[in-house]
Amino acid sequence: MSDTSRASSLELMTAKGQIDLLIPRGGAGLIKAVVENATVPVIETGTGICHVYVDQAADLDQALKIVANAKTSRPSVCNSAEVCLVHEKIAATFLPRLNELFKGQVQMRANQQALPYLPDAIAAGSQDFDTEFLDYIMAIKVVPDTQAAIDHINQHSTGHSEAIVTKDDRQAQLFTQAVDSAAVYVNASTRFTDGGQFGLGCELGISTQKMHARGPMGLAEMTTYKYIIQGDGQIRA
């Protein structure tokens, strides 16, 4: 298709009877336009306000590696972490180390509890915890416990990918059960949310909704099925 105008996009979105399914691949504006205007089935994909929560029982060396990878390995993609949540009991130890790691590379936007430990950070604005930066920018927040981290994520996340760094199995279980996102990690980077990494071959998108296809989608998620029944005069009583 050579016509990439808005009019042609709207024509695709409303081509009932000709289009089985639309999967918007692009920025938040495109996805919003498709979801609001389409009269054909749509799988909403892509937007990723992803979080890494560093628990008080985290291995801090491991946590630094995970947060750095999730933010800096490729910040322009949807599985890049945009927010780091830190348990208040380790904030004074962990955040100065994160400051040194990110200094001159990642702009840190911190809440009031985090700012004293991040001399190179700026105060977070009202929208910073609801923004997919897709850049070397990260919002940082100190939270009192795992439940507060879960509550923040379920309020601000786009349902893409979240991670907890902890050595406490109970906190890991609470997090994985209560966080409502397509991919939830324990002690691993959110950057693994990818069709190739999940063994799906090609990736057609990452579904952030709750249909049969949720998370990375490969060819299997794009197929449907039908029943073929061969009879010999059977009837149902």
pLDDT digits (tens, 9 = 90+) for 43-52: 877 689 999 9
Indicate if the pLDDT at residue 1 is higher than 60. no
Structure tokens at 207: 């579904």
Indicate if the pLDDT at residue 38 is higher than 70. yes
- Between these two residues, 65 and 24, which has the higher pLDDT value? 65
Please tell me the chain's helix, strand, coil percentages from 3-state DSSP, rounded to the nearest 5: 30, 20, 50
3-state secondary structure of 49: coil
Q: What is the structure's pLDDT at 58?
A: 98
Q: What is the structure's pLDDT at 133?
A: 96
Would you say how long the chain is, in residues?
Answer: 237
Cα–Cα distances in Å, from 159 out to 7, 55, 58, 112, 214?
Answer: 30, 20, 23, 26, 10
Structure tokens at 101: 């790691």
Euclidean distance between CA atoms 87 and 92, whole angstroms: 10
State pLDDT tens for residues 136-188. 999 999 999 999 999 999 999 999 999 999 999 999 999 999 999 999 999 99
pTM: 0.87
3-state secondary structure of 141: strand
Domains and CATH numbers, the chain: 6-45+196-222 (no CATH), 50-192 (3.40.309.10)
- Between these two residues, 17 and 79, which has the higher pLDDT value? 79
Structure tokens at 115: 């700012």
Euclidean distance between CA atoms 126 and 83, whole angstroms: 14
Under the banding of pLDDT at 50, 70 and 90, the label for residue 235 is: low
